[in-house]
Chains A and B, each alone.
Chain A
Amino acid sequence: MLRLTLRNLAAHKVRLLMSTLAIVLGVAFLAGVLTFSHGLDRTFSGIISGSTPDAQVRPANSASAAEAAARPGAGSEAMLEPEAIERLRTLPEIARADGVVQGTGLYVLDTEDKLVSSSGAPTLAFNHTGSRNLLGEPMLELEEGSWPKTEKELVLDGATAERAGYRVGDSVTLIAPQGETRRKVTLTGTAAFNGGGTAGAQLLVFSTAGAQNLFTEGKDVYAAVSLTAAPGVSQKELVEAANTVVPDGFEAVTGDKVVAESEDAIGDFLDVISVFLIVFAVIAVIVGAFIIVNTFSILIAQRSRQLALLRALGASRRQVTASVLFEALVMSLIAATIGVLAGWGLAHGLAAAFRQAGLEIASDVLVLTPRTIWISYAVGVLVTLAAALLPSRRAAKVPPVAAMREDTQPPARSTALRTSAGLVLLAAGLGLAAMPRIGIPEISLPGGFEVPTSPALWVGVGAGVSILSVAWISAFLGRPVLAALRTLSELAFGMTGKLAGQNAMRDPRRTGATASALMIGLALVSLIGVLAASMNASVSDVVEEEFKPDLIVQSPTYTPFPASIGDEMEKVEGVATVSRAQVAQAVLGKVDLQNPKKNEPAFLFGVDEHMSRIYDLDALEGSDDVKPGQVLVTEETAKEHKWQLGDRIDLTFRSGRQLQPQISGIIAETQVTGDITVRIEDLVEAKVPREDASLSILLARGADPAVVHERLDKLVADRPVVAVQDKEEFAESIKGQVNQLLYMIYGLLALAIVIAVIGIVNTLGLSVIERTREIGLLRAIGLSRGQLRRMITLESVTIAVLGAVLGLALGVLFGVLLRDALRDDLTSLWVPLDQLAAFLAVAVAVGVLAALVPAIRAGRQDVLKAIATE
C-alpha cells in the first residue's frame, strides 16, 4: 500500500505540483509573516536593551512614564544641573553617570534640500557620552568616521546618511526647532544602536555642547542621567543608592523597568502589524485549502477505477482512506518544506519593502525560529490532511465492482442536505450581519460573558460566516449564474461557447469550489473597496462641511513646527488672520506617582481666540467659545468622565504644573479640534513649550487666493516640515493616505487571488486530462485547435466570473453593512462602481490567464486518443 501511494505521487507529478503550490504559497506567506514579525520584534527589543543603561534618572512626574521612554525627552522641561550629576558620581555604587541632553523637532535635509523622509519612526537627537547599556557595552556603535567633538559636528545613522546622500566630511543641513532654524554641521561619522539597526528611527548624535546649544539654549543642564553600576552592584541597589541624592522632581529607575516600559509602548504597535499580516496569511491558507480539497476530489474521481481494483483485490476501506491520507501527508510535508524556505525569502522581501518605507530591519534577525517552523509545518500538514479527509473517505466508498465497469464516474451525490444546511448557515450569517440594524440584544450569557456591542464586530463575524457558507454551497448558488454565463457565451461564441458553458456546469461542485477560492479574495477586495470609497467620500463631506479657513498650514507628518512660522505668515500681504492650534499632553486628574500606569494621559487641543470665529463648532451646552481658564469638551468625553457644564477639570502637565479650567461648553464631535480644547495661553502658563500643530489662515478681503498661496509657499519653501494647503489639497492629502493603505491591502489580497488562479489552472488541467477522449472526439469531428483553446478559455472565464460575481455581490453587501455599522466615522456611503467593474475585468483576465497552459496542452493532445480505447 505504501509503495503504491508513493508511485501514485510520482505518477501525477504535474497535477500534484499545482495543488502543492497552493499549500506552498499559503505556508510561505505564514512562515514569512511569522519570521518578519519575529525579526521586527527582535529589532526593537535589540535596540531597547542595547540603548538602556543599568539605571536612569528622569523627571518623576512624567505625564506617562511609558510615553517618556518611547519618546525620550519629548518636552521634559525639568532639568538637572551638572552638580546633581557630580553628586551621583561620588556614590560608590555608581561606576559612571552620563548626563543626557535630548530633544525633538530636528530634521535633516538631503543634498537637494528636501526633507529626508521617515516612516513615522521618531527622529532621536541626543548627545554622545559613551554611556554603557545593560550589558556593559557602549549604547552606540560607531560604524564609520569619529564621534562629534565640537558644536558644529554631527553623527547620523548609516541609513539616513545614505538616503540623504551625505558622506563623512560633508556639510549637513538641519532644520532646528528654535533659534537659528537652518544650520549647517559637519558629518563626522555614522553610528547605530548597539543591538541592531535603528528600526527606521533617524539618529542625530551631537557632542554634549552641541546638543545643549540646540535644546537647552546653551545652558549646561541635562534632561536625564544614564547610570552604570559599579561591579557587583545590582540594578536595585544602584537605584536605591541614586535615589538618596537625586534632586526633587526626579527619580531613579532600574534599566529593567525602562526596558519593560519601552517594550509595552512599542509592543502594541508591533502587535498591530503582526496581526494585520497574519490575517492575510490565514486568508491565503483558507483559500489554499479549497484548492486542495478540490484537487484531491478530482484526483480521486479520476482514480476511482484503480481504487476499485484495490478494493476488489482485497484492500479494506481503511486501507484506501489511509493511502489517500498518506499521499496528502507526503505532499504536505514537501509543500511545507518548500513553503517555509520560501517564507524565509518572503520575510526578506517584506523587510526590503519596509526598508523602502524607512523602517530599517536588520536582515540578520530574520531567522526561521523553531516556533515559526513548527507552526508552519503544523498548519500546512493539518490543513492539507483536513482538506484530503473528505475526498479520502469518498475514495473508500468506491465499490469493488466499479473496477469491472466501463463507466467509472462516481454516482452523483445528493446535495440537498448540504444545500439546506448551507442556506441555514448563510441565513444565520446574514442575520448576524444585519443585527446592528435590527438592534443588538443586551443579554448576558452564562459564565459572565457579555454580548459584544461593537456593530462592526457583528457585521464582520456575519460576513465571515456568510462568505464561508456561500463557498460551501457555491454549487447551488452558482447554478443560475452559470446558466446565464452559458447563454451569454453561446450568444457570443456559438457552439464553442455553449460547450464551454456546459462543461463548467458539468460538475457544479467542482466549478463552485474552484470559483470559491477567487470569490473569497474578491469579496474581501470589494468590501475593502467599498469601505475605502466611503471613507474618501466621508472625508470630502467632512472637509466640505468643516474646512472653513481659506488655507491651512500643517506638517505632512503631523509633527509640530515652530511658532515663528505663524508669526511670519501674519506679516504676509493678503493674510488677514492666522489662527494657531497646538497639541499637548496632560494627565487627567491628580498624578499617582506610585502607579504610573493609572495615570491617564490625554491630548489637549490648544487654540487661540480666532478659532471660534473661523470654525463653526456645534455647542450642545454652553458656548462654543473658550477663554483662558476655560475648556471645551466633546459630548462623548463629557459622558465618559461624567463632566457637567461648569465643572472644573484637573490637568497635570509634564512640567508638574497643574491647571483647573472650567468647562465652558460641551460640543458635538468634530474634526476641527480634539476631545478637550483649551487656550494656548493656558498651555504657555503650564510651561508647555510653544510650537504649532496647525495654522488656519483667513485671507484679507479681495486678496487673490492663488497669489497668497504662492507667497506662503515661498515662505515655507526652506521649511519642508510644513505645507500650505487649500481645501482641495487638504482633502487629497487625507485621501492619499487612505488610498495608500488601500493599495497595501490590495497587494496582500493579491496573494489570495494568485492562489485562486492556481486553483483554476489546476481544475482546468485536471478536467482536460479527464476529458482527453471527449476532446479527441471533438477534434476528430471538426473542432479546430483555435476553437478548442477558445472553449477551454471560455470555461475558465466562466469559472472566474462566477467567483467574481459571487465575491463582488458579497463584498458589496457586507461593505454596505459594515459602512452602516461604522456610520459615525464613515458618514457617506460610496460604492465604487468603476472599481468593481475593474475587478470583474481582472476576473476575466484571471480566467484567460489560468486557461493559457491547459488550453495549449489540450491543443497539443493527439486527436487519435479519442478512438484509442483503453
Chain B
Amino acid sequence: MSLTDPAPQDPAQREIAAQAIDVHKTYGKDAAEVRALDGVSLDLYAGEFTAIMGPSGSGKSTLMHCLAALDKPTTGEVVVGGRKLGRLRDRRLTELRRDKIGFVFQAFNLVPTLTAQENILLPLSLARKKPDPGWFDQVIDTVGLRPRLDHKPSELSGGQQQRVACARALASKPDIVFADEPTGNLDSTSAAQVLGFLRHSVDDLGQTIVMVSHDPVAASYCDRVIFLADGRVVDELAKPSREQILAHMADLQSRAMGLAPIGEDA
C-alpha cells in the first residue's frame, strides 16, 4: 500500500525537513530565569512521522513552537526547508507558515464562522492561491470528510473537527506539518482515527509530520520518537512499540526524580 519505502534510510542520505542547531530558550531573568530549551540540536527528516516526547515542562512544546516559526529561540538557529528563520521578519515568517508549514493544535483548531471546506482551504485563500484539485480530493478522501464539507465546526464531532484540521494542514502541500497534542482532547476511537490518518498521509501522501505528545499510544504510530527532558534531547527510538516508549518515559521520570533507572539503558 505504501508509495514510498517506509524503511529508515541511512541518516546521511535522508533529506532534512527541519533542523534545530544548539537552540536555547529562556524566559524571565536572573533568579526567575527558566530554561525551557537548553541547547537542543536535532534533525527532522522528510517523509517521516516523528514524535517529540517528554514529561511536562521538558520543553517539548517550546521546541515545536521554535521549529514551527511561531516563537524565536533566545540563541541558536532553526532551519526549515533550507531557510534559516533567525533573520526573517514577521511578513516572511507568516508566508513561511502559510506556504511551507502545516499546523494541528490540541484544541480550537478551526475558525467557527467558516465551513469545513473553507477551513481546509483557509491558508490557500489567505495566500490567494487556487487549490490543486487532485491533491484536495486526495486529502479529503483520506480524511473521509466529503459528506461533511459544508458543515460548520459546531456541527462536527471533536474527532471530525480534528480531521478537518489535519486536512487543512495538508491542503497547501507543506514541507512539514507540526501537530501539538492533536489527540489530547479526543476519545480513544477518535484519536485512533486521527493518528491513522496522519500515518497514512506520511505513508501514502509522502508528508512530513512532527508531533508533540506525551501519549505513548500516539507516539507508537511514529517512525521515530525523540525524548526531551529539562530542555535537552536525552534519547531517541526508531519505530518503537508502546511498551518501549512507556519504559523510556518511566525511566526519564525516575531519573528526574533522582531514582535508579528501572528500564533498559539506551
Report A's interface with B, CB cutoff 8 A.
406, 494-496, 499, 502-503, 505-506, 773-774, 777-787, 863-864, 866-867, 869
Determine the distance from Cα of A777 to Cα of B114 in the docked complex, in whole angstroms: 13
CA separation between A786 and B91, bound complex, in Å? 9
Q: How far is the CA of A773 from the CA of B110 in the complex (A)?
A: 10
User: What residues of A have a CB within 8 angstroms of the CB of B109 in the complex?
Assistant: 777
User: For the complex, what is the distance from the CA of A784 to the CA of B68, rounded to whole Å?
Assistant: 16
Main secondary structure of the interface of A (DSSP, over half): helix
On whether the beta carbons of B99 and A866 are closer than 8 Å, the reply is no
The answer to whether B95 touches A784 (Cβ under 8 A) is yes
How many whole Å from A311's CB to the nearest CB in chain B?
Answer: 25
| Residues of B contacting A785 in the complex (Cβ-Cβ under 8 angstroms) | 90-91, 94
> A867, B70: Cβ atoms under 8 Å?
yes
Question: B256 within 8 Å of A by Cβ?
Answer: no
Residue in B61, B91, B114, B126 whose Cβ sees the most chain A Cβ within 10 Å: B126
Other A-B pairs beyond A781-B123, A866-B105, 7, CB < 8 Å = A495-B126, A499-B113, A780-B97, A781-B126, A782-B127, A784-B91, A869-B106
Flag B104-117 by CB within 8 Å of A: 1 or 0 each. Answer: 01111101111000
**B 66-107 contacts with A by CB, 8 A:** 68, 70-71, 90-91, 94-95, 97-99, 102-103, 105-107
User: What 3 A-B pairs are tightest by C-beta distance, nearest first?
Assistant: A782-B98, A495-B125, A502-B113
Least CB distance from B219 to A in Å reads 19
| Contact (A774, B127) CB under 8 Å given A782-B97, A863-B70 | no
Q: How far is the CA of A786 from the CA of B89 in the complex (A)?
A: 13
Number of A-B contacts (CB under 8 A): 79
Query: Which residue of A has the minimal Cβ distance to B180?
Result: A867
Q: Which of A773, A783, A864 contacts B94 (CB 8 A)?
A: A783
Cα–Cα, bound, A787→B99 (Å): 16
Smallest distance from the beta carbon of A405 to chain B beta carbons, Å?
Answer: 13
Please state if A778 and B111 are interface contacts (CB–CB under 8 Å). Answer: yes
Q: List 8 A–B pairs whose Cβ atoms lie within 8 Å, in order of A's numbering.
A: A494-B125, A499-B113, A506-B113, A778-B111, A780-B97, A781-B98, A782-B99, A782-B127
Q: Counting CB contacts under 8 A, is B168 at the interface?
A: yes
* B37–chain A nearest beta-carbon distance, Å: 14
A701 nearest CB across to chain B (Å): 75
- Is there an interface contact between A779 and B71, defined as CB atoms closer than 8 Å? no
| Contact A495:B122 (CB < 8 A) given known A777-B111, A867-B180 | yes
- Identify the B interface with A (CB < 8 A): 61, 65, 68, 70-71, 90-91, 94-95, 97-99, 102-103, 105-109, 111-114, 122-123, 125-128, 168, 180
Could you tell me if B94 and A867 are in contact, using CB atoms closer than 8 angstroms?
no
Contacts of B108 in A (CB 8 A): 773-774, 777, 866
Nearest-neighbor residue (CB-CB) of A494 within chain B = B128
Q: Which residue of B lies closest to A784 (CB)?
A: B94
Determine whether the beta carbon of A774 is less than 8 Å from that of B97: no
- The answer to whether A783 and B126 touch across the interface, beta carbons within 8 angstroms, is yes
B107 touches A869 (CB 8 A): yes
CA distance A785 to B97 in the complex (A): 13
Min CB distance B213 to A, Å, is 14
Whether A787 contacts B126 by the Cβ 8 Å rule is yes
Instruction: Determine whether the beta carbon of A496 is less than 8 Å from that of B70.
Output: no
Q: How far is the CA of A781 from the CA of B111 in the complex (A)?
A: 11
A372 to chain B, nearest CB (A): 48
In the assembled complex, the CB of B184 is this many whole angstroms from the nearest CB of chain A, namely 8
Quick check: A781 and B90 within 8 Å, CB to CB?
no
Residue in chain A with minimal CB distance to B62: A864
A773 to B91, CA, bound (A): 20
Contact of A774 among B68, B99, B111, B168 (CB under 8 A): B111
Q: Once the chains bind, are B122 and A864 in contact (CB under 8 Å)?
A: no
CA of A505 to CA of B91, assembled, Å: 29
Q: B114–A502 contact, CB under 8 A? A: yes
Quote the shortest CB–CB distance from B18 to chain A (angstroms): 16
Specify which chain A residues have a CB less than 8 angstroms from the CB of B65 in the assembled complex: 864, 867
Residue pair A781, B168 in contact (C-beta under 8 Å): yes
Residue of chain A at shortest CB distance from B128: A494
Contacts of B71 in A (CB 8 A): 863-864
In the bound complex, CA of A406 to CA of B128 (Å): 34
CB A773 to nearest CB in B, in angstroms, measures: 5
User: Which chain A residues border B123 with CB–CB below 8 Å?
Assistant: 781-782
Q: Within the assembled complex, what's the spacing in Å between the Cα atoms of A860 and B90?
A: 11
A780-B70 in contact given A506-B113, A773-B108 (Cβ < 8 Å): yes
Cα of A784 to Cα of B98 in the assembled complex, Å: 9
Contact partner, B106, options A502, A778, A783, A867, Cβ 8 Å:
A867
Q: B122 and A781: CB pair below 8 A?
A: yes
Report the bound CA distance from A784 to B128 in whole Å: 12
A869 proximity list for chain B (CB < 8 A): 106-107
**By the criterion CB–CB under 8 Å, are A782 and B94 in contact?**
yes
The CA-CA distance from A611 to B107 in the complex, in Å, is: 88
A785→B122 CA distance, assembly (Å): 16
What is the CA–CA distance of A783 and B123 in the complex, to the nearest angstrom? 8
Taking CB atoms, residues of chain A closer than 8 Å to B90 are: 784-785
B36 to A: closest C-beta gap in Å? 12
B91 to chain A, nearest CB (A): 6
Smallest Cβ-Cβ distance to A867: which chain B residue: B105
Residues of A within 8 Å of B122, CB to CB, are 495, 778, 781-782
Q: How far is the CA of A248 from the CA of B93 in the complex (A)?
A: 100
Shortest Cβ distance from A407 into B: residue: B154
In the complex, the answer to whether B180 meets A781 with C-beta atoms within 8 Å is no
Chain B residue at minimum C-beta to C-beta distance from A786: B91
Bound Cα distance from A869 to B56, whole angstroms = 14
Contact residues in A for B128 (Cβ distance below 8 Å): 494-495
B97: A residues at CB distance < 8 A = 780-782
A785 to B113, CA, bound (A): 20
B212 → A minimal CB distance (Å): 10
Q: Are A782 and B105 within 8 A (Cβ)?
A: no
Complex Cα gap A505–B97 (Å): 28
Q: Which residue of B lies closest to A501 (CB)?
A: B113
A503, A782, A786, A869 interface centre (most CB from chain B within 10 Å): A782
> Once bound together, how far apart are the Cα atoms of A783 and B70, in whole Å?
13
Contacts of B102 in A (CB 8 A): 781
The smallest beta-carbon distance between B208 and chain A, in angstroms, is 17
A496 touches B126 (CB 8 A): yes
Per the bound structure, the CA–CA distance linking A783 and B114 in Å amounts to: 15
Q: Shortest distance in angstroms between B72's beta carbon and chain A's nearest beta carbon?
A: 11
Residues of the B chain whose Cβ atoms lie less than 8 Å from the Cβ of A782:
94-95, 97-99, 122-123, 126-127
- B236 smallest CB distance to A (angstroms): 24
> Chain B: which residue is nearest A502 at the CB level?
B113
Residues of A within 8 A of B114 (CB): 499, 502
Min distance, Cβ B92 to any Cβ of chain A, angstroms: 10
CA separation between A172 and B109, bound complex, in Å? 82
Q: Which residues of A contact B112 (CB under 8 A)?
A: 506, 774
A866 to B107 alpha-carbon distance, docked (Å): 9
User: Which residues from chain B contact A495 at a C-beta distance below 8 Å?
Assistant: 122, 125-126, 128
Cα-based distance from A583 to B75 in the complex (angstroms): 91
A-chain residues with CB within 8 Å of residue B126 when the two chains form the complex: 495-496, 778, 781-784, 787
Residues on B with beta carbons closer than 8 Å to the beta carbon of A503: 113
In the bound complex, CA of A4 to CA of B125 (Å): 45
Q: Give the distance in Å from the alpha carbon of A502 to the alpha carbon of B119 in the complex.
A: 13
* Complex Cα gap A777–B106 (Å): 12
Residue of B nearest to A504 (CB): B113
CA distance A503 to B112 in the complex (A): 10
Query: What's the nearest-Cβ distance from chain B to residue A495, in Å?
Result: 4
Q: Which residue of A lies closest to B125 (CB)?
A: A495
The smallest C-beta distance from A511 to any residue of chain B, in angstroms, reads: 13
Considering residues A503, A773, A780, A783, which has the most beta carbons from chain B within 10 angstroms of its beta carbon?
Answer: A780
Return the chain B residue nearest A506 by Cβ.
B113
Q: Is the CB of A499 within 8 A of B111?
A: yes
Residues in B with CB closer than 8 Å to A777 are 105, 108-109, 111
Question: What is the CA–CA distance of A785 and B103 in the complex, to the nearest angstrom?
Answer: 18
Collect the chain B residues with CB atoms within 8 Å of residue A494's CB: 125, 128
Q: Which residue of A lies closest to B71 (CB)?
A: A864
CA gap between A496 and B68 in the complex, in Å: 23
Closest to A870 in B: B107
Give chain B residues whose Cβ lies under 8 Å from the Cβ of A780.
Answer: 68, 70, 97, 103, 105
